Structure 1
Amino acid sequence: MNRLVLWNVDLTLVDVTIVAREAYADAFRMVTGRPLVKLAPAMGRPDSEIVFETLAVNGIAVEDHHLPKFLDALAVSFAAKRKRLTAEGRAMPGAKDALKAVSRLDGVIQSVLTGTIRSNAVHKLTAFKLDKAIDFEVGGYGEEVYPKATLLQVAQGRAKERYGGAFTSANTVLIGDSTRDVQAARIGGAAMIAVASGRSTAAELREAGADIVLPDLSNASEVVAAVARLTGR
C-alpha cells in the first residue's frame, strides 16, 4: 500500500523567517534597484504570489520578466545566507523525530508541498538535517505558478509516475500549519493533519476543515498514528 505524505515547510518543519525576509529584501534590490519598503505577508501563499504582491505594494509596475528574475535572485540571495539558517532559525519542535517515525510506515513516500521555491526548500531542510526522508522530486514548489490545491494534484501525479499506483484522498495526507494548507487539502484531494505551530490557531484549523489538529509535532507517535489512520482508508 502506497501512502503519500506531503509536508509544508515554513512554520511546520522549520522557522527561518529572519533569513527569508532578508533574502527577499536583497532579491527586491537586485531586480528593481530600489530598497524594499514593504514585504507582502506569506500567509501560506507561494513565493510566486508573494513576489507579485510585493512588487505591486512597493509601486513597481509588474511585467512578464519580473517573476522569473525575482525568483532567480531569491534563490541566489537565500543560498548566500544558508550558513546562517541554524544560527538564526530553528527546526520546529519534534520535526526531526516525526519525519523519522513516519518514514517507518509501510509504503510511505514523504515529500513537500510548499510555497517556497525548490532550491530554498532544500536549503531549509538540509540545514536542520530534515532532508533524509524527503523525496524532493515528488514535491510541489513556490516557483510553479499554481494554486496550492493544484500543486497538490501535481505532486500526486509525480508520485504516480515515480512510484506507480494511484494517489487520492484515501492515501494522501498534507501536514501543514495554515488554513490555506487545509483549503488546499480539501480542494486538491488529500486528508489534512494541521499543526497549530504557525499563525493559525487550533480553532481556526478545525473550522477550516482539518481532519486532525495537533498542537505541534512533538509527539511522534501521535503524528504516525494520525498519518496511518488517514492514509489507510
Structure 2
Amino acid sequence: MASTAARPHPAPSSVPHTAALLTVGFDLDMTLIDSRAGIAATYRALSAETGVPIDDALVVRRIGPPLEEELAHWFPADRVAAAGDRYRELYPDHAIAPSTALPGARESVEAVRALGGRAIVVTAKYEPNAKLHLVHLGIEPDSVIGWLWAEAKGEALKEHAAQVYVGDHVGDVRGARAAGALSVAVTTGPCDEQELRAAGADVVLADLTEFPAWLRAYEANRTAA
C-alpha cells in the first residue's frame, strides 16, 4: 500500500547523461504488481494486533494514495502515524509472498532496456518494501524511488529526465503532467479509462502486455524527430 509522500525521498543514485536517453518511469502497485492479496493480509494483521476493525476488501479497492490517507479511515488522527509505522513493519512478512507480477510487467521493463533506455520505479510505497517486491518478483529497474504521490512523483521523474511515466491511477497521471512527461495509463488499477483520460492521460492501455509494442513505436518516432 502506498505510504506518505510528505517525507523527502533519497537523491537518485544516478541520472541520465542526456535528456535524449530514453527513460521510462513505472508506478508499482497495480501497474507492475498486483499487491492486493498482500496488502489485505497486512491490514488483517494490523487489525488483529490493534483491535481496530478494518475492511481489507474495501482497502484494496482504493490502492494508490498514500498509506496514511487510507489509515485515516480506520484510526483516529492521533493514532495514524503509529499505525503507519507498524503497518510498514508488518508488511515484509505478510505482503511480499502473496503479491504477483502483472501481465507484461517484466516484458515492459525489458522493452525499455532493449531500446537502450533506463527503467525507473516511482511509487508512493515505502521504498524498502517496494524494493522487496521487485527483488522477489525478479523485476529489475535501474532505480527505485519511493514515498512520492501524485504531483510529488514529478520531482523524481524530472530528476531522472523521464520522457514517459506509466501508472494506473489518476494520481500517476498528475505526476506525469507535473514532470512534463507523457502519461501512459493502464486500466489494471482502481481507475477506468474514462477517469484516466479525464485526468489528462495521453495514452490508455488495457494492461502492460500492450506496452512494449507501443514503446517501440514511440521511440521510433521520438528518435526520428
User: TM-score range with shorter-chain normalisation?
Assistant: 0.7 to 0.9
Q: Structure 1 length normalisation: TM-score? A: 0.73
- Note the C-alpha offset of 1:229: 6.3
Q: In structure 1, which of residues 100, 123, 131 is the aligned counterpart of residue 132 of structure 2? A: 123
Q: CA RMSD in A?
A: 2.7
8 Å contact kept, 2:173–2:183: yes
Match of 2:172 in 1: 181
- Note the C-alpha offset of 1:109: 2.3
Match of 1:164 in 2: none
Match of 1:78 in 2: 91
Identity %: 23
Q: Does 1:153 align with 2:155?
A: yes
Q: Structure 2 length normalisation: TM-score? A: 0.76
- Runs of at least 5 residues in structure 2 that lack an aligned partner in the other structure: 1-19
8 Å contact kept, 1:173–1:231: no
- Note the C-alpha offset of 1:149: 0.9
Match of 2:62 in 1: 42
- Give the letter aligned to residue 194 of structure 1: A
Q: In structure 2, which of residues 207, 213, 222 is the aligned counterpart of residue 216 of structure 1? A: 207
- Runs of at least 5 residues in structure 1 that lack an aligned partner in the other structure: 160-166
- The separation in 2 between residues aligned to 1:95 and 1:14, in whole angstroms, is 7
Equivalent pairs counted in the alignment come to 202
SS of residue in 1 equivalent to 2:183? strand
Match of 2:8 in 1: none
Change in Cα spacing, 1:82 to 1:58, as seen in structure 2 (3 Å) is closer
Change in Cα spacing, 1:4 to 1:84, as seen in structure 2 (3 Å) is same
- The separation in 2 between residues aligned to 1:74 and 1:133, in whole angstroms, is 25
8 Å contact kept, 1:102–1:223: no
- Note the C-alpha offset of 1:175: 0.2
Q: In structure 2, which of residues 131, 137, 142 is the aligned counterpart of residue 134 of structure 1? A: 142
- The separation in 2 between residues aligned to 1:16 and 1:133, in whole angstroms, is 18
8 Å contact kept, 1:29–1:35: yes
